[in-house]
Structures are given as C-alpha cells and as structure tokens.
Chains A and B, each alone.
Chain A
Amino acid sequence: MPYISFLIFIPIVTALVALLIPARYTRVFPWLTVGVNILQVFIFILMVIHFKVDGSLQLIEKHSWITLSLSSWGQLQAEYLVAVDGLSFPLVGLSVVIMLIATLSSWHVSKSRKGYFALLLILNGAIIGSFCALDFLLFYVFFEFMLLPMFFLIGIWGGPKREYASIKFFLYTLLGSIFILIVMIGLYLSVQSPENSTEVVHTFNVLYMQNLENFIPGSVLDATTTGSWRLWAFVLLFIGFAIKLPAVPFHTWLPDAHVEAPTAISVVLAALLLKIGGYGILRFVYPVFPDGAVYFSDWVAGMGVVSIIYGALNALASKDLKRLIAYSSVSHMGFVLLGIASATTEGIAGAVYQMVSHGIISAMLFLIAGVLYDRTHDRIIENYSGLASQMKHYTAFVLIAFFASLGLPGFSGFIGEVLIFFGAFQSQSLNNLVQMWMPIVATLGLLLGAAYYLWTIQRMFFGPFAVRANFAELNDLTTREYAMLLPLAIMALLFGILPQILLDYINPFAESFTSMWFSLGINANP
C-alpha cells in the first residue's frame, strides 16, 4: 500500500474536489477537511504498524518521474521517491495530528470558507510531502508548494497588518528558496547515479548526494576538486533552511507572521513549518556537506546559542502575547541548532525530539493565545489581570503549556533540551565541534524562559481580576477548545514521562547519522 502517497495526495485531491463544490455550501468544507484529517490519522496508525524500527528507510515508494536524455550531457533523472525514517516519521505523525487540530481551530472562519479550507488541504499535502520526499527536486516542489497557501492564508485571513506580514514572510522564504535552488542545481550538476555505470546520469536523489563517491570528479561540488564550492554551497543551503527554522538573524518574519496570522495558521506555522528548517538541515545540509558542517560548526552552534538567548530576551520584552510565544519559538528552535551542531547521537536525537516536542507545545501555546483573542480581540498582556479567577480550566491549560514550554521535567520539552545538552556537553571531548562554554551559556535561556513565562502568568492570570478590552463574555473553555488542547497536553506529558516510545524511532536515525560522521573520519581527534 502506498501509504505515504495516500497521506500526501488525499488532501490535495480533496482540495481540488472542494473547488468544484459551490461556495454557498459553507458547512461542507470544514467537515470535508476534518474527514481528510481523520483519514490521515488512520493511515498514520497503519504506518506505525508497518514501520520496522531498524534504522533503514521504510515504506519506500520509488517511481521514475522525469527522465531526459541530454546527449553529451548525460541524462537528467528525477524520481518520485518518498520514504520515512526515524527523522521524518515522528514529524509526519506530528503533522497529521497538528493538521487535525488546526482544522478544528478554524471551525468558525467566516471569510470565504471554500478558499480557506482548500488552501489548508493543499498546505497539508505539501507539508507531508516535504517531510517524505527524498528526491531533491520533489522536495523542492513540495517546499515551494507550501509557501503559496501560507502566503494567502496569512494575507487574506490575517489580522490588520496582514499584507505587510505576508509579503515579509514571502520575501524571506523566497530568498531561502533561491539559495536552496542554487545549491540544488549545483548538486544536480555534480552528482551522478551509481545505478548506471555506462552513462552519466545526473540525479536529484538525496541518498546518492550523501555519498561523496557519487560526485562526478572535477564537478563544481566535488570534494576532491581544488577550489571546490562546497563550503559556499553549505552556507547557502544552511541559510536557506535557517530562515525557515528561524535562526537569528533571519527570524524577523516570524513574529510578524505569527501576530497577523489567524490562530490555526499560527499553529501550523509554529508546529510544522519551522520544523522543515530543522528537518532540512538534518536531511540535506549536514549529510550532504559534512565537511562544511565541521568547518562551520562553531558558527552553527553559536547561531543556536544566540537564537536561544536573543529569542528569550525578545520574548521578555514583548507586550503582545502572540509575539512573546513567537519569540519563544525562536529561542526553542535555537536548541535544535545547538543539538545538530554537536553532531553526537544524543544531540541529534535531542534535536529531533525537541522539534516534535516544540511542535506539540507551541501548538498549545498558540491555541491558548487564540482562545483569549476569540473572546476579547486583544492580545496585549498588560490589558489583563487575574484571569485565573474567571477562567479556571483555561488557566490550568495555560499553566500546563507554559511550564511544558519552559522545560519542566515530566513534559516533552525537558527531554529534548536535556538530550541536546547531553550532546553539546560531550561534543568537546568527543568530536570537538561544540565548545563546552556554548551549552553553558545556553542554559541561561532556561532561566530566561522561566522568567518570561512566569511574569506573564503573574501579570495576566494572578492578582485581582481586570480586563481592559471590550468583550461580551469571558467564558471558560468550550468543548471544541477542550478537544484541541487536551490531546496536545496528553501528548506533551506522555513524551515527557515515557521518552523511550519516541526515542525508539529516533535512535536508529541518530545513530546512523553519527556513524556516517565517524565513517568520514570527522570524529577523529583534531
């Protein structure tokens, strides 16, 4: 069964079907979308059953897609190659769950529902496609396909400054895309398929790109060529994905996009789109250019540490609740970068774990901001006080989300962070990629994280009740909101208390990732 293809194309086909339904049947669209989401959850459960945890690629689907003979140039070959492994499988699972919750959270969208849900479905397919594609061209198509719905979803259904935010988002990511495109072309020119020895077959297969032997001698990105452009390619590709992550200083699109985006889109943006950045670095940048990764390891780790501290400081100064959460995302994704930079088994596994955990927790955080915004249309922190006395259950979820996000043991965030620290601390003695002072400085981010969340709780939820905003009623959570928040809270707890259930999937990937580095002789003592 082509599970992955089902997962990718069911939403896209449904989106096309939805376009044929007259827009006046407004009730149909959310139900259609939620049906697709539930179907995807079932497909994912089937995938879990069929997934063998042995470190190899699973559920591979391989078909020829574009084959062009270019006479003396050899052959161009792009394949439809999708598969999952320990890196992408947890992220696919996360996508499936988050998209379901995003649909639930957009239940009451009023403006042109047909377009909204069709775009959401396209986004759904494109995200899962990006996580599963192992052919660079195929990945790039899905990657670009993601931008378009996102641009419109922010630009049409967003807040007052939505045009600015959506254009900023688009420009940033487009810049990243261009960098990725340049490197992709370079790789295409340099890599040949080992399947065919009689003729040069240029391929986009990422697995082939990860083996230095497949590079055509003398080509642009061949390691043996003198004056190779490999380091430049690393930088370009890394920046391309760092924009998505986002890492400081490529992050300023994020707060604006988040503040203006509707709740559901914020959830998808924070929980899934940012993960494409981390995923891209782990799937493309590091395995394809390990030499660049070693050369720039200080920079990558430094960027991670700066993101952690800088994001946290910005969150501390934020007056808008959503802006605070957006900057906290910058801070938490900095940990991912730090873990990757260490290139140790613990660090890599920690980075993947942190991505999944941040997906769960940030979704919760944005839903929480959305709950309040739905009631009062105001997100300024200082306009609230003592909400705990009026909204008991809401406050309970806020506490869970905030403390999960600040890394309280028992929640998934702690496991991710602590694994990253394990990796980063031993890196100096193991492979000398990350100096020990860097993670020590990064721990300051934990303290700052506690500070901005606790101050927010103190200002908004404790103290005497007062709201300086217009609102009709300040009800506690509705059933729909419960249905969105409770599964996320349970997941955050589950992955925090029993980390091994997720690590069993991630470990083989992390181990093969690091063993690849060992095989390249990088971990030898410098």
Chain B
Amino acid sequence: MSDAITILLITLLIPMVSAGIAFSVKEKYGWLIPIVSSLLLLIAAIAVLFPLFGNVQLTEQFSQPWLSIGNTSVSIGILATPITRLMAAVVLFVSAMVHIFSIGYMANEKNTDRYFGFLGLFTFAMLGLVYSTNLLITFCFWELVGFCSYRLIAHTQQKTAASQAATKAFLLTKAGDVAFLIGLLILWTQNSTLELAFITSTSGVWNTVAGLCIFIGVVGKSAQFPLFNWLPDAMQGPTPVSALIHAATMVAAGIFMLVQLVPVFTPSTLWVMTAVGIVSALMGAAGAWLVTDIKKILAYSTISQLGFMILALGLGETTGAFTHLLHHAFFKAGLFLAAGSIIHAMHQATHQTEVDVQDIRQLGGLRKQMPVTFIGFAICAAALAGIPLTSGYLSKELILTAVHQKNMWWLTLSVWIIVFATPLYIFRLLWFAFLKPATHVLTVNEAPWIMRLPVILLALGSITFLFQQGHLSSFATQILQTEIAVPTRIVIISLAVTAASLLTAWLSRNLSSRAPEFLIQYFLDSINLYLVRLTTFAGSLTTTFDKKWIDRSIHTLAYGKVMLAHVAGWADRNMVDGTVHGVTWVARGLGGVTRSVANGKIQSYLLWAMAGLLIFIIWMLY
C-alpha cells in the first residue's frame, strides 16, 4: 500500500472513528467530538487534495479481495483518481463545516451523541462510496448512506412527521436501490466483473437494461422525477443534516456514480437520462418558485440543480456535470447553513412559540439584523443563479456549451428555461427573507460566530478568485485544469437571460399568492399512497388466503381424520364389538340350552343317553 493510499485510508477512518467515539462516550463530553472531528476532517480534506496540485494524471488503485466464490470475486479497495480525490475533499470539507455549524445549532438539543455519531457514519459511508473500486462495494456504501440519512432525518424521533418523512425517504430510495441492484447483477452477468476498472463500454439490449436500472437507483437517491417527493419531506430533519444531504452525501452520491459510469452507458440510456434531467430540472424550479417553506424552496432547488447535472451527463458532458456538482456542494451547503442560522435565530427570537419560522412570508428585514449571514447567503444565491464571478457561472457555461453543440431546439429551449427560472426563485427567497421590510417586530440576533464561520467559508468557496489561462476559475476547475472555452455567443445569451430573469424577479417581488402545495408533489404522494394501499390490500389478501384456504384445508384434513376416527369408533362399537357381543350372545344362548340340559337329574341324563344311543344305532344301520 503506497503512502498516498494510506493517507486516503486514514481520511476514510477519521469520520468512522469519530462516529464510534460519539456513540460510546457519555453525552456530557459530547461537545468535544464535533470540535476535534471537524478539525481532523479539514486537515483530511487538504491532505486528500494536496497531491493533485500540479499533477492531474495521478491515478492509483489499491484493492484486496473481499469476497470470492466460484467465478465471482469482489474486491474492496481505494481508487485514487483526481475525480475521487476532489469529491472526497469536498465531502470532507462540507462535513467539517456541518460539524462546526452543528456545535451552535444543536447546542440546546438532546441526543447529540446519536446526532454526531450518525453524522460521522454518514460522512464515512459517502467517502467509502467515493473511494470504492468495485460497484458492489459502492452499492454497500450507497445503502449505508441511505440508512444514515434515514436515521438523521428521524433525529427528532418523537415528532411523527419526522419519522414519517424518514420512512418515506428510505422506502422511495430503496425502491431505486432495488432497481440498482438488479442493474448491477445484469451488468455482472454481461461483464462477469463489477470492478470499475474492468467494466467496458458495451452495447446490446441487456446493457441498456442494466444502465436504466442503475439510473433508476440514481433517480431515487438523487431525488429525480418521479422518485423525488421524499426530498421536500426530508426537510423534517435538522437543518445541518439537510445541508449535508443536499451538498455532499446522499443526493450527490447518485450524480457521482453517474460521473463514473456514464462512459459505459449505451446511447439509449443516455437519452433517457437527458429527458429525466430536463423534467426534474424544470419541475424542481417550478416547485421552488411555488412553495413558501424556506427549506423546501432549497430542497426543490436541489432537485432542479441535480436534474441539470443529469441532463449534462446524458449529453456526455461529465466534466461540466462534475464541476457543477462540486460547486453546488459549496453554495447549496452555504444556503442551507444560512437558512439554518435564520431558523435558529428566529426560534430564539420567537421563544419557541408556535410561529412557523420557516415560512418565508413571516420573515423579512433580516439583512440588517443578520448582516453576515445575509452576505453569505447572497453570495451562495448568486452562485446558484449563475451570476458571473461565481463558481456556479463557470460550470453552467460548460453545460450550456455542451447543450448547444447538440443543436436540438427542444433541448436548447428547455435548458434556457431552466437558466431563466433559477435566479427567479432564489431572488424571491432572498427578497422575502432579507430584503423585504420586516412584517414582525422581533429582535433577531445574528447567529453566533461558530455558525457564521462555516457559512462564510462556504460562500468564499463559491467565488471565483483564482486565475487560470487568463480566465477566472474556481477551486474545482483550477484543480481539474478544466478548459473553459465558452463561445462568446453563449456568454452573451446567458448573461441576457440571467439579467432578464433577475428583472422579472424584481418586478414580481411582491407577488405572494402561492399554491399551498406543489401539485406534482401532491400527485406523486397520492400515487405513493395508492401503492401503499395496494400493497396493504395484497397483504390482507394473503392473510385471508392463509386463514381461509390453507388453514381451512389443514383443518378439513384434521376433521377428516377425526371423522375417520369416529367412523372407526362406530365400527368398533357396532361391528367389532357387535360381533363379539353377538358371539357372546350366541354362546350365552347355547350355554342356557346346555345349562337347562345339565339340570342334575339322573333321569333326564339317562333319557338323553338313551336318545343318543338310539341316534347312533340308526346312523350305524344306514
């Protein structure tokens, strides 16, 4: 094992050990864990990234057999490519930020041991997924990521809504995971290996099926149409957890997997991906524009952004999609943590009364009351909107270039709509939360520094301040040394569309009539409900079948036996016993006769003797 691999292994173990300690120490010392862990995670993030500076061709792999039987062998190992290193660094960094933020956010909460334990495990699972060399191991960590998110969404487990949301999240992603597993198994029957390095690009129906099945897994995990409706509900979890889920772990896992697998997918699979990406991106944007809950807006925004990435992946633009994933990790984590600060501050201002502090219509005027959070939020929002000088702008341009190269009007049109819609909803959120005059008279205090710091760091990561070949570049494009050659035409149109969008947003800023619920979500929820009812109905059918048919036939059999026994008993009594009785009766009758004969009188004996002698003589004579 080379030094580089050892370092990666250590970075993998840090969150694991952190989780182990968090689970085992007394809650009294629980506060130590996030402090130590976040520092270690930060160091780990740098250590992972360090070898990449100046050397992008760095690829190393270490693996060891984990399971081998027959002609199946699965190895567990660490894959160190620029892509995995960069992804791991982002996961570690965001996780560190979330740990730091949680110190403040969870200060007055209970069960922090469990919270930090699962936070560590979550990070570990995601890192394992990133480093994995074998798709089956990827799947293992993939499931583990789902389990951790389940446990974290249901952190406040007394709350029925939270546990329901967690169950829903797990079941919907599990539906995807089952398809993923089928896809893996089909891929395995075709390639007889699941090693990432050996899966080769192939064509054929079965490979398309395998690709589609794996993609369904991604649809579940990355909350795409039609399996996205768990994500808005998952907002029941603590806000820092949402930041982690949306930025670096859960939903990012799907995109990261595709980044690695897109080269082996067949063209038909890629087209399906593009279509699903477009639908999800448009729908997510619409949802984000419609709902009023601050966290749900961000959740829909994630659906939209991930759809955007999947669309790019479907077009084969892996670099654009991957850089966008990394950029998204920063600004979305920043947005969520800033939202967490707002919710935290509002909770304290309202003294935990029953005011829905997450409803953006209740907010306002926070720009002055929470200036630092405002700046952080605004920068991240700008990155999301794709405004120049931000990281989001760079990756957006990359994807737009790829779209234009395809030269298909429907594709281009829908992508421009997405580009137009994104600033629209995020400006709306910014306006309602920070810029609009306050509707309330509360004194809201700025979040403590421990919560401000992560927001600011994440916002800094969303700005492009690095230079590369005369372009501004972000950390990701800098390290990957991405060539950003965007045609001027696209730059101009993109700027115009963004400006138009912002103008529209400004003009419609006070429009607050909103649908109480996002219709498509409602629709999908009811489909889910019907599926659940159908399953429960099937369950009751099988139970009836067990009772009515199987048990009844067993009972009939048993009764049959008892009846047979009764018949045998009757026969015993009336026939066998009857025969015996009959015999005894005959015997007794005969006995009676003989008894009357043997009456003890000499004369009658003599008479019988004479009669006998007579009969004997007659018989002898004839």
B136 lies within 8 A of chain A by Cβ: yes
A388 to B157, CA, bound (A): 8
Residues 510-526 of A contacting B (Cβ, < 8 Å)? 510-511, 514
A462 touching B143 in the complex, CB below 8 Å, given contacts A422-B188, A444-B178: no
A234 lies within 8 A of chain B by Cβ: no
A118 to B175, CA, bound (A): 48
A463 touching B158 in the complex, CB below 8 Å, given contacts A418-B136, A421-B185, A458-B163: yes
A466 to chain B, nearest CB (A): 11
A142 lies within 8 A of chain B by Cβ: no
B377 to chain A, nearest CB (A): 33
A409–B144 touching, CB < 8 Å: yes
Q: Which residues of A contact B154 (CB under 8 A)?
A: 462
A457 to B536, CA, bound (A): 17
**Which of the listed residues B69, B188, B189, B558 has the most CB atoms from chain A within 10 Å of its own CB?**
B69
Q: Which residues of A contact B189 (CB under 8 A)?
A: 425-426, 429, 436
Q: Which residues of B contact A305 (CB under 8 A)?
A: none
- The segment from A63-71, A223-231, A309-317 that touches chain B is A309-317
Interface residues on B, range: 35 or more
A458–B69 touching, CB < 8 Å: no
- Chain B, residues 135-175, CB within 8 Å of chain A (1/0): the string is 01001110110010001001001111011101100110011
A443 touching B538 in the complex, CB below 8 Å, given contacts A503-B69, A507-B69: no
A409 to B181, CA, bound (A): 12
A403 lies within 8 A of chain B by Cβ: yes
A482 lies within 8 A of chain B by Cβ: no
Residues 354-404 of A contacting B (Cβ, < 8 Å)? 386, 388-389, 399, 403
B69–A389 touching, CB < 8 Å: no
B13 to chain A, nearest CB (A): 14
Residues 417-432 of A contacting B (Cβ, < 8 Å)? 418-419, 421-422, 425-426, 429
B587 lies within 8 A of chain A by Cβ: no
A346–B69 touching, CB < 8 Å: yes
A315 to B167, CA, bound (A): 17
B28 to chain A, nearest CB (A): 16
Contact of B536 (CB < 8 Å), options: A252, A317, A464, A514: A317
A390 to chain B, nearest CB (A): 11
A189 to chain B, nearest CB (A): 28
A252 touching B550 in the complex, CB below 8 Å, given contacts A408-B147, A410-B140, A454-B170: yes
A344 lies within 8 A of chain B by Cβ: yes
A16 lies within 8 A of chain B by Cβ: no
A176 lies within 8 A of chain B by Cβ: no
- The segment from B101-109, B300-308, B539-547 that touches chain A is B539-547
- Chain A, residues 3-35, CB within 8 Å of chain B (1/0): the string is 000000000000000000000000000000000
B182 lies within 8 A of chain A by Cβ: yes
A295 lies within 8 A of chain B by Cβ: no
A461 to B162, CA, bound (A): 13
Contact of B70 (CB < 8 Å), options: A310, A458, A499, A514: A514
Contact of B181 (CB < 8 Å), options: A171, A426, A446, A500: A446
A171–B69 touching, CB < 8 Å: no
Number of interface residues of A (CB under 8 A): 62
B272 lies within 8 A of chain A by Cβ: no
- The segment from B60-68, B253-261, B388-396, B426-434 that touches chain A is B60-68
**Which of the listed residues A344, A388, A436, A458 has the most CB atoms from chain B within 10 Å of its own CB?**
A458
Q: Which residues of B contact A314 (CB under 8 A)?
A: 539, 542-543, 546
B562 to chain A, nearest CB (A): 11
A419–B69 touching, CB < 8 Å: yes
A414 lies within 8 A of chain B by Cβ: yes
B551 lies within 8 A of chain A by Cβ: yes
Residues 530-559 of B contacting A (Cβ, < 8 Å)? 535-536, 538-543, 546, 550-551, 554, 557-558
B160–A410 touching, CB < 8 Å: no
A500–B65 touching, CB < 8 Å: yes
A447 lies within 8 A of chain B by Cβ: yes
A344 to B69, CA, bound (A): 10
A231 to B92, CA, bound (A): 61
A233 lies within 8 A of chain B by Cβ: no
* Chain A, interface SS category: helix
B345 lies within 8 A of chain A by Cβ: no
B227 lies within 8 A of chain A by Cβ: no
Residues 435-451 of A contacting B (Cβ, < 8 Å)? 436, 439-440, 443-444, 446-448, 450-451
B72 lies within 8 A of chain A by Cβ: yes
Q: Which residues of B contact A386 (CB under 8 A)?
A: 157-158
A314 to B535, CA, bound (A): 10
A408–B163 touching, CB < 8 Å: no
A443 touching B181 in the complex, CB below 8 Å, given contacts A345-B69, A409-B140: yes
Q: Which residues of A contact B70 (CB under 8 A)?
A: 344-346, 349, 507, 510-511, 514
Q: Which residues of A contact B181 (CB under 8 A)?
A: 418, 421, 443, 446
B539–A446 touching, CB < 8 Å: no
Q: Which residues of A contact B147 (CB under 8 A)?
A: 403, 408
B436 to chain A, nearest CB (A): 37
A344 to B189, CA, bound (A): 13
B20 to chain A, nearest CB (A): 13
B157–A408 touching, CB < 8 Å: no
B535–A451 touching, CB < 8 Å: yes
A415–B67 touching, CB < 8 Å: yes
A436 to B183, CA, bound (A): 12
B186 lies within 8 A of chain A by Cβ: yes
Q: Which residues of B contact A450 (CB under 8 A)?
A: 170-171, 174
A464–B69 touching, CB < 8 Å: no
Contact of B157 (CB < 8 Å), options: A419, A447, A462: A462
A316 touching B535 in the complex, CB below 8 Å, given contacts A458-B164, A463-B160, A464-B158: yes
Q: Which residues of A contact B69 (CB under 8 A)?
A: 345-346, 349, 419, 503, 506-507, 510
A346 to B170, CA, bound (A): 29
A499–B542 touching, CB < 8 Å: no
A439 to B181, CA, bound (A): 11
Q: Which residues of A contact B164 (CB under 8 A)?
A: 458
A436 to B205, CA, bound (A): 14
> B136's closest neighbor in chain A, by CB?
A418
A84 to chain B, nearest CB (A): 20
A443 touching B178 in the complex, CB below 8 Å, given contacts A421-B185, A451-B171: yes
A440 to B67, CA, bound (A): 23
Residues 460-518 of A contacting B (Cβ, < 8 Å)? 461-465, 499-500, 503, 506-507, 510-511, 514
A386 to B162, CA, bound (A): 13
A386 to chain B, nearest CB (A): 6
B307 to chain A, nearest CB (A): 24
Q: Which residues of B contact A425 (CB under 8 A)?
A: 185-186, 188-189
Q: Which residues of A contact B185 (CB under 8 A)?
A: 421-422, 425, 439
A503 to B72, CA, bound (A): 12
A447–B174 touching, CB < 8 Å: yes
A455 lies within 8 A of chain B by Cβ: yes
A462 touching B136 in the complex, CB below 8 Å, given contacts A425-B185, A450-B170, A454-B171: no
A313 touching B67 in the complex, CB below 8 Å, given contacts A408-B147, A410-B144, A443-B178: no
- Chain B, residues 556-594, CB within 8 Å of chain A (1/0): the string is 011000000000000000000000000000000000000
A409 to B139, CA, bound (A): 8
A422 touching B157 in the complex, CB below 8 Å, given contacts A403-B147, A454-B171: no
- What are 10 A-B residue pairs whose CB atoms fall within 8 Å in the complex? A344-B70, A409-B139, A414-B140, A421-B181, A463-B159, A465-B158, A500-B66, A503-B67, A506-B69, A511-B70
Smallest CB-CB A-B distances: 10 pairs: A345-B70, A317-B539, A462-B163, A409-B140, A316-B539, A425-B185, A313-B539, A313-B542, A463-B160, A462-B157
Residues of A within 8 A of B (CB): 168, 171-172, 249, 251-252, 255, 310, 313-318, 344-346, 349, 386, 388-389, 399, 403, 408-410, 414-415, 418-419, 421-422, 425-426, 429, 436, 439-440, 443-444, 446-448, 450-451, 454-455, 457-458, 461-465, 499-500, 503, 506-507, 510-511, 514
Given contacts A409-B139, A450-B171, A458-B166, 5 further A-B contacts (CB under 8 A): A313-B539, A316-B535, A316-B536, A419-B72, A425-B185
